[in-house]
Chains A and B, each alone.
Chain A
Amino acid sequence: MDMVSMGLLAAMGALATIAGTSEDLESDVGSQSNPNSQVQLAAQVGHTHRIYNKAISGEPPSNALYAALAAVTASVLMSDPYGMNAFFSIAVGALVAAVFNGILSMTSYMGRNTSQARFNQHVYLDVLRSHTTTIMAHAYITAFCVVAISYIMTAPWLPIQHPFPLPVIAFTWGIALGAIGSSTGDVHYGAEREFQQYPFGAGLNAANSGDIVTKAEAGLRSSIDNAWFCAKFGGPVTGLAFGLIVFLDNWRTTIFDPATQGWYAILTGILIVILLNVYNRILEIRSKKRYGPYPEYVGDIKA
C-alpha cells in the first residue's frame, strides 16, 4: 500500500458516490425502472399526468450501455491515431452516451404515452423539451464518473492493473450501478414521492395502486419536482451505496496485495460482510422498536 494507491482509491470512492447519486436522480426525472409501473398504471385508472415516462429496458442494461459507449468512445479517442488526453476523451465519451440517453428517453416517452391513447394520455412536447435535457445532464455525470473509475482501474501507468479492457470493466460497473440504483434510491421515489398524499410510514396499500400524485403545490407535478424531492435522500444514499461498494471492494485489494496477501484480502471481505449483517440486524431491531406494530393489525401474534 502506498499513498498513490490510497489516493486513487479515495478518488474512486468519491467518483462512485457522485455516479450513484446522479444515476438515481436520472432515473427519478425520467421515472425509469420499477416505480414506473405505477406511472404506467396511473393513466389506466383514470389519472392522466404530466410525468415523464421512460423505460429503457431496465436500469442495469441501460446504464451498462451509457458506460460502455462512453468507454468505447474514450478508448477510441485515447488510442493510437488520435491520442487524446484521457480526461477530455472521457468527457467526449460521456457526451456521446448522454446523446444516446436523450434519444432513447425521448422515444420511450413518446412511445409509452402513445400506447395509452385509449386512456387519453397525451404526449406533451414541452415535457419532452424541458425534461430530456435534465435527464441527459444526469446521464452525462454518471457516464463520466463510471468511465473515470474504470480508467483508474485499467490505465497502464496507474497502480491497479485490472486485466479487463476499459469498455468491459465500464460495462460491468454500469450493470452493477444500475442494479444498485434500481434497488435503493428508486424506492424513495416509488414508495414515498409518487404516493405522498398517503400518510408517511406505510407501504402502498394495493387498493391505492396507480393513484399517484399528479398535482403540485401550484399547477401540475412535473418530474423535475420529483428529482428535487429525491435529491434530499434517495439520490445521496444510492451514491453512498455505490461508493461503499467500489470503495470496500477495492480497499481490500489495496491494503493487501492480492499477489502475496490474497487470503487477507478475502478474510477482510468476509469480516466486512459479517459486520454488514450485524448492522442490518441492529437497524431492524431499532426500527421495529421505534415504529411499533401497526394499530390496524388484528391477528393473534403478539408483537
Chain B
Amino acid sequence: MSTFDASTLVYVLQIVIGGLLVGIGVHFVPVGGAPAAMAQATGVGTGTVQLATGSGLTGLISAGLMMSVTDNILLIVLSGAVGAMIMIDVTMLVGNWVYIYGVGVPPVAAKTDYDPITKDPQPPYISPGTVGHGVPTVSYVSGTIGGLMGGAGGSLIYYALMNINGVSGLSAFFAIGIFVVNAVIASYNIQGTIEGFHDPKFKRVPRAVQACFVATLIIGIFAVLIHGGA
C-alpha cells in the first residue's frame, strides 16, 4: 500500500480536476439522443455518454502513446485533448454529411433564433415538426470545446494514476472508469440531450460541478491507493 503524502494529494487533485473537466466537457458536446438519429433534434444522433466516452478514449490512446516517451504533463494532456478533438470533429463533420447529403436537411439549431457565433438566422431552416437537425456552427464549436475538455480530463486522470501505479493497463482502465462515472452524472444533469453552450440546459453546469467534484474526490482517493504491485 502506497503511503499518503503530499505528492499523493497532488495526484488526487489532478484526478479531481480531470473528473471536473470531463463532467463540464460533456455539457458542451452537442447530442440529440435518439430523436437526432431521425433528424428530429439538433446534435449528433447518439447518447451523450457514448460520444463523450468515444472521444475521450481516442484521446486516451494518444495520451498513452505520448506518455510512453515523455513525462511532460502538458504534452500528455494536450495530446489527449487533440486526439479527442479530432475524433469528435470528424464525427460531427461526417454526421453533417449524412444530414445534408443523405437526409437533405441543413444543419440548424433550435434553441436559439440566431447562431451566437455566425449570427445566422435559424428558425426558417428547421423542418416542420422537428426541433432542429444536424450540427450547426455554434454546436460544432461547442463540441470541439467538449472534446478538448473531455480528452484533457481523461488524460490528466491517466497521467496521475500512471505516476502512482506505473501499470498502463490498470491506469487506462481506472481512467476509463472515472471518466464514465463523471460522464454519466453529467449526462443525467442534462437529461441526455443538449445542443451546446447556447442551450438553456447549459445553465445547469454548477450542479454537475458539485456532483462530479464530490464523486471524483471519493473515487479518486481510493484510486490513488491502488499500487502497481512489486
Residues of A within 8 A of B (CB): 33-35, 37-38, 58-60, 160-165, 168-169, 172-173, 175-176, 178-180, 182-188, 190-192, 194-195, 200-209, 233-234, 237-238, 240-241, 244-245, 248-249, 252-253, 258-259, 262-263, 265-266, 269-270, 272-273, 276-277, 279-281, 283-284, 287-288, 291, 293-294, 296-297, 299, 301-303
Contacts and interface: CB of A to CB of B under 8 A. Distances in A.
A237 B99 CA distance: 12
B79 interface: yes
20 contacts: A60-B54, A162-B68, A172-B60, A183-B91, A185-B98, A190-B39, A191-B37, A202-B105, A204-B38, A204-B129, A237-B98, A245-B87, A245-B90, A269-B82, A269-B83, A277-B140, A283-B107, A291-B105, A296-B128, A297-B123
Contact of A277 (B36, B122, B126, B141): B141
B65 interface: yes
A60 B53 contact: yes
B188 interface: no
B178 to A, nearest CB: 15
Given A206-B40, A280-B93, A288 B125 contact: yes
B13 interface: no
B53 to A, nearest CB: 6
A208 B64 CA distance: 47
Contact of A294 (B92, B124, B168): B124
A61 B108 CA distance: 30
A165 B98 contact: no
A153 to B, nearest CB: 8
A180 B90 CA distance: 9
Contact of A249 (B39, B40, B83, B135): B83
Nearest to B65: A162
Interface stretch (B69-77, B204-212, B213-221): B69-77
A233 B83 CA distance: 26
B85 interface: yes
B106 interface: yes
A203 B38 contact: yes
A130 B6 CA distance: 62
Given A192-B102, A299-B124, A262 B140 contact: no
B89 interface: yes
Nearest to B58: A176
Which secondary structure dominates where chain A touches chain B? helix
B121 A301 contact: yes
Contact of A163 (B47, B67, B95, B137): B67
A30 to B, nearest CB: 15
Nearest to A297: B124
Contact of B100 (A175, A180, A283, A293): A283
A187 B37 contact: yes
B61 A284 contact: no
A203 B133 contact: yes
B9 interface: no
Contacts of A248: 86, 90
A293 B98 contact: no
Contact of A280 (B58, B70, B92): B92
A165 B168 CA distance: 8
B45 A182 contact: yes
A106 B198 CA distance: 42
Contacts of B102: 187-188, 191-192, 233-234, 237
Most B CB within 10 A of own CB, among A163, A244, A301 = A163
A68 B25 CA distance: 27
Given A201-B105, A280-B96, A293-B124, A301 B113 contact: yes
Q: Top 8 nearest A-B pairs by Cβ distance?
A: A179-B54, A205-B129, A203-B39, A293-B124, A269-B82, A201-B104, A34-B37, A241-B94
Given A168-B169, A262-B70, A272 B137 contact: no
Nearest to A167: B169
Contacts of A249: 58, 61-62, 83, 86-87
Nearest to B140: A280
Interface string B112-130: 0110001011111111111
B37 A186 contact: yes
B144 interface: yes
A262 B79 contact: yes
B10 interface: no
